[in-house]
Chains A and B, each alone.
Chain A
Amino acid sequence: MKAGATRQARAAGLVSPPLLWVLLFMIVPYLIMFTYSFYTKRFPTFVPDFQFGNYGTIFTDPQYYQILFRTFKIACLVAVAALTCAYPLAYFLVFRVRRPGARMILYMMVIAPLWISYLLRAYTWKTILGSEGVLNTFLVWTGILAEPTDIFLYNQFSMVVTLTYIFVPFMVMPIFTALEKIPPSMVEASKDLGVGPLRSFLFVTLPLSMPGVIAGLTFTFCLTFGDFIAAFLVGGPNGFMIANIVQSQFGAALNWPLGSALSIIMLVIVLSIISLSDRLERSGRLDLG
């Protein structure tokens, strides 16, 4: 009994520093923010209060709920676009590249951009899509366009392209891992039972790789949902996302209560997505052994 108590005390001693850290720098700030979301804005600052007006504003003022909806839409588009690019790539790496060495090098090439500054990668697209950019220069040079166009940059299209490019490694990684875990004998068994390659993929490989797909969708959706730098660089006025609004509420607009309420709503959406994906992954967790 006494030994057990000592062991418990030791265990508590071991985990308490990180717990304390999380408590001080995560839980407490969240609670503060949560409290602020009920405050009232009174020029030039705000006063403590308990009212739901901030939340009301978000759901009644089109300026807010439309951007919330737009952010949701862009996050969905990025997740789907990343899936469309990443799945064939991961499939190719796992099933078509025979030599393990070559496979690892190609995989590292997909991951390597993560070590390059986010800003730099987003900025790259500005130089590609801009009116003086690579794409325009090329189109004018080939004669497809008579003069440079500005339709490529500063809109939701450029947002989706840039964010897809930035977050696609987060889709490739889980799908690659999921596909790599599927024993080659699974597809062979399917073919052995008279099922052709396409349907073997649909009925065996795809369902077995679903945990990776769900994880990838969750990563890319949540990362996009909270992004605000891409909007600055390539988004333009129509590319503004919810995180940009939050930032301006805490900055220029000096409306911390509204910013807090927006943050809480974002937090709820992201946490819902994560717990949903966690549940899906759990129900689909398969013992491949």
Chain B
Amino acid sequence: MDSIIRLNHVTKRFSGGVLAVDDVSLDVARGEFVTLLGPSGCGKTTTLRMIAGFELPSVGRIHLEGDDVTDLPPYKRQVNTVFQDYALFPHMTVSQNVGYGLKVAGVPKVQIGPMVNEALGTVGLLDKAEARPAHLSGGQKQRVALARALVRKPKVLLLDEPLSALDAKLREAMQVELKHLHEQLGLTFIFVTHDQTEALVMSDRVVVMKEGRIEQSGSPADLYDHPASAYVANFIGTSNLIEGRIATSDTNGLVVELAGGRIPLEQAHHGFRGGEQVLLAVRPEKVRLLPPGQGDATNGIVLDGTMRDRLFHGDTYRFEIDIGDARPFLVDMQLVSLTRHTDVPQPGERVRLHLDPNTVSLFRAES
């Protein structure tokens, strides 16, 4: 792999003793869109700040295009950052903001103008070149910050939760725009967010972090369909996590005992011993509702339950079904053109759930 950024066993311990990043190794390929995803305090921003040069790793090395940049100050690294609060200079106009780095670096004035205009054109803000940041909307500030970083033609663009301050509609539009910009420029993006939707929509690869460590790294589809842990299953999308116990385990497969009954699983899940406590994870939209009495157990898993509640979301119904577990089992039903609301089961009705064994993930229960 042609890696442009390489983190080699990087650890960051702050002076107060807080371990922010714990032995993280990561390779980012040239042109890749990588997202560091996790809740606040998981070390994602600290990791990004170490790549930018704002923090020094306590242990480990950082390489940019094969060169060790660990000890280089930020102003000597060919990476640029889009800050969470945009960090636009309030005493400069938009074009002065964008041209600032070039001007101080001594780029001739005749070259700065066209470069600034090109960058502002890329983000569609040419008409605001003479405005002050205070007179821009949140989305426009965002674009200026982007143009200011892009004008320096960085090898890697670092984005620190750049969309978190925007309202939902604008955020969605900017997600698409950033994705297109990435494709158009062919630049390497490292994006930090706590918003799993953002991560899934934009990234080539998502790196899920937890307590300073990388929990799982993979394509969005990979992470969604094959989460490596209950943490990932729960953090990305919604998952039903059902407590169970391995009843039997042999070469033919497993039988998991749940509160609501026993279910057989294929050989795909190995490495579990009989009697182990497990968590079974299923996505709400991967479950089908069967009319009562219907469905044969030979092709898939069938669970019986009682409809507790149903929530109408417009395009989907979310059902909360009691299957004997402490938590309700969630099932999403897509409403297609033929669905009639009268056909949808009512609360209190008995229902049967049909699970495809391939969509079920099994994790060892954490004690």
Contacts and interface: CB of A to CB of B under 8 A. Distances in A.
Interface of A: 98, 183, 185-186, 188-197, 199-200, 203-204, 207-208, 284, 286-289
Given A186-B87, A208-B90, A191 B100 contact: no
Given A193-B101, A207-B91, A185 B83 contact: yes
Contacts of B90: 208, 286-288
A195 B75 contact: yes
Interface in B46-98: 52-54, 73-76, 80-81, 83-85, 87-91
A202 to B, nearest CB: 10
16 contacts: A98-B15, A185-B85, A185-B87, A186-B87, A188-B83, A190-B100, A193-B101, A193-B104, A194-B76, A195-B100, A195-B104, A196-B73, A196-B75, A197-B75, A287-B133, A289-B134
Contacts, number: 74
Interface residues of B, number: 27
Given A203-B100, A204-B89, A287-B134, A193 B83 contact: no
The 9 closest A-B pairs by CB, nearest first: A193-B101, A287-B134, A189-B87, A185-B87, A286-B90, A191-B74, A191-B75, A195-B104, A192-B81
A188 B101 contact: no
* Prevailing SS type, chain A contact patch: helix
B100 A192 contact: no
Interface of B: 15, 52-54, 73-76, 80-81, 83-85, 87-91, 100-101, 104-105, 133-134, 148-149, 152
A192 B149 CA distance: 9
A260 B84 CA distance: 58
A249 B87 CA distance: 57
B91 A286 contact: yes
A103 to B, nearest CB: 15
Nearest to A202: B104
A57 B194 CA distance: 75
Nearest to B151: A193
A193 B73 contact: no
A189 B81 contact: yes
A208 B91 CA distance: 7
Nearest to B158: A192
Contacts of B54: 188, 191
Centre residue among B73, B104, B133 by max chain A CB count within 10 A: B104
Contacts of B74: 188, 191-192
Nearest to B89: A204
Contact of A193 (B15, B84, B100): B100
Given A188-B74, A286-B134, A195 B101 contact: yes
Contacts of A289: 134
A192 B84 CA distance: 14
A206 B260 CA distance: 68
Given A186-B87, A189-B81, A208-B91, A194 B104 contact: yes
Nearest to A186: B87
B75 A203 contact: no
A191 B104 contact: no
B87 A191 contact: no
A193 B134 contact: no
B104 A199 contact: yes
Contacts of B75: 191-197, 200
B51 to A, nearest CB: 11
Contacts of A284: 91
Nearest to B83: A185
Contacts of B148: 189, 193
Contacts of B91: 207-208, 284, 286
Contacts of B89: 186, 189-190, 204, 208
Nearest to A204: B89
A196 to B, nearest CB: 5
Contacts of B15: 98
Given A194-B152, A207-B91, A189 B104 contact: no
Contacts of A208: 89-91
Nearest to B133: A287
Nearest to B91: A207
A200 B75 CA distance: 10
